[in-house]
Amino acid sequence: MNDSGNDRNPRSQRDLAVHLDGITKRFPGVVANDDVDLRVERGSVHALLGENGAGKTTLMNVLYGLYEPTEGRVVVDGRERAFDRPRDAIDAGVGMIHQHFMLVDPMTVAENIAMGNEPRKWGGLAVDRDRIDREIADLCDRYGFDVDPSATIEELSVGAQQRVEILKALYRGADVLILDEPTAVLTPQEVEDLYGVLEELTEQGKTIIFITHKLGEAMHAADRITILRDGSSVGTVDPAGTTREDLAELMVGREVLLETGGEPVETGRPILEAENVVVEDDRGVELVSGIDLEVRAGEILGVAGVDGNGQSELIEAITGLQTPDAGRVSFDGTDVSAWSRRQRIEAGMAHIPEDRHEQGLVMPFDLVENAVLGSQRSPRFARGGRIDWAGVRDHAEDVIGTYDVRPPDADADAESFSGGNQQKFVVGRELERDPELVVATHPTRGVDIGSTEFIHERLLELRREGKAVLLVSSNLDEVRGLSDRLAVIYEGEFVDVTDPAAVTEEELGLLMAGEQPDDRSRERPASNPADGGER
């Protein structure tokens, strides 16, 4: 499975665009990279695969000049380099597209792309905007990008914003592009578009390195895959000569269960009910249009849909982050429509939020402080009106250990952890509240395969214990594999509910786009599609 040096793939005969030779990067008390060798062929797509905390981003930060290696050499385009800052890497033709885009929302595409590199005219007195527009148009034509230079960033979809980030790197002359978890925030359709972009870029001679923990993504898009585990390289493989199971075992160091699911169980009483829920924006436009749903004890109800079709607003109305404009939300038979988020937590409603930064964590707080968020008044953590910080610390350390948060440092600020480790901590905090209902929104977004397996099994365990789970996910494999019933949302309405085992991915894609498949053998419910029932 590992490369032997005699590979007949024509890409392996090309010269190297990047050679990271024996890279070691140490931080106080931590060896993030340990003698890593990475060889990336020119004009190829090279995936860097590994669990959260495996050292992938650190290694790429060395290549991009954010970190200086403790030991080892950085060779780009055949020349040994010493990058003191990202500007040095950019000048050498290395660009990086971060997971969280570095764009200014109110500014235009052109302004974001040219920022800091604006061509001047009239002896340097003014920015040559016409030249900027021409150069961006030329880049769009060359790489097949459909981007309007005059549009503001806030008007664009997430996929279009990512293309702007790529254009920004190309505008600065990048020949090597590093993409950090490039599909983490994309819809399935946008992921397919990204694959097309990568193919076009490599055909034009660009070299792509992308960081990922997703096996299917690496298998589909990469010419070579290098796997990191615990800061060390454990092999470089050809996707055509390996399997997802082999990759998972290399990543984690053990056999990994890639398929999840559980035997049907008899459901109990309704735990969550939403009746004719309507949510409007500030202009009075309905984002959620009269949705009904029911989740019973011992059941996982999945919600699938393209982001932006009302699922975020529906979840906010259910969890108390906003009050519905019409309708009611009931929890275990009690109308909680006007209850606060804290009241719902105390009643037994856990929430894994869509945005861990905005809704899940206080980024400058350490993990001990973040562990008690939402439970400051709980008898479990409060004594005589004061927080029992020793008890909170024990809880934080339990979550860190159980959910494999790396590094295992409860005193570190949340903002110092990778996105995947932040997610694992939020998931652990919420699932360990001993809830009756879990509202899980993209619970494994940005999380590695080993932790994904653990989180899936934990959700199924809660289901077996008779808890109710409402699962919203853009990962169709996840939502189909875990759900007992699957509701599809489009433009603020449930357009169908189905047995996830009886619907194909193609049928789901049509439903998510607001279309009805022609050859469906099952019947649509006559009304109230997300109502549950005994099975």
pLDDT tens digits for 322-375?
A: 999 999 999 999 999 999 999 999 999 999 999 898 899 999 999 999 999 999
pLDDT digits (tens, 9 = 90+) for 263-273: 666 889 999 99
Closest CA relative to residue 214, chosen from 186, 233, 234 = 186
Among 63-67, 125-129, 413-417, name the one with the lowest average pLDDT. Answer: 125-129
**CB within 8 Å of 9: residues ≥ 6 apart:** 223, 238, 240
> What CA–CA distance (Å, rounded) separates 56 from 229?
9
Among 67-71, 145-149, 298-302, 439-443, name the one with the lowest average pLDDT. Answer: 145-149
Question: What is the per-residue pLDDT for 420?
Answer: 83
Residue at token pair 């006007």: 338
pLDDT tops 60 at residue 522: no
> What CA–CA distance (Å, rounded) separates 371 from 395?
7
| pTM metric for this prediction | 0.69
- The CA-atom distances, in angstroms, between 234 and each of 63, 209, 231, 248, 405 are 19, 17, 9, 12, 21
CA atoms 481, 269, 347, 311: torsion sign: positive
Among 28-32, 149-153, 526-530, name the one with the lowest average pLDDT. Answer: 526-530
Tell me if residue 526 falls in helix, strand or coil: coil
Average pLDDT of 179-186? 83
Average pLDDT, the chain: 88
Question: What is the per-residue pLDDT for 262?
Answer: 58
Query: Sorting pLDDT into bands at 50, 70 and 90, what band is 11?
Result: very low
Among 49-58, 198-207, 288-297, 356-365, name the one with the lowest average pLDDT. Answer: 49-58
**Neighbouring-strand partners of residue 295:** 272
pLDDT digits (tens, 9 = 90+) for 506-515: 788 788 878 8
Query: Sorting pLDDT into bands at 50, 70 and 90, what band is 70?
Result: very high
What are the structural domains of the chain? 1-93+175-256 (3.40.50.300), 100-173 (no CATH), 260-348+437-535 (3.40.50.300), 358-434 (no CATH)
pLDDT tops 70 at residue 171: yes
Question: What is the per-residue pLDDT for 7?
Answer: 42
> What CA–CA distance (Å, rounded) separates 285 from 295?
27
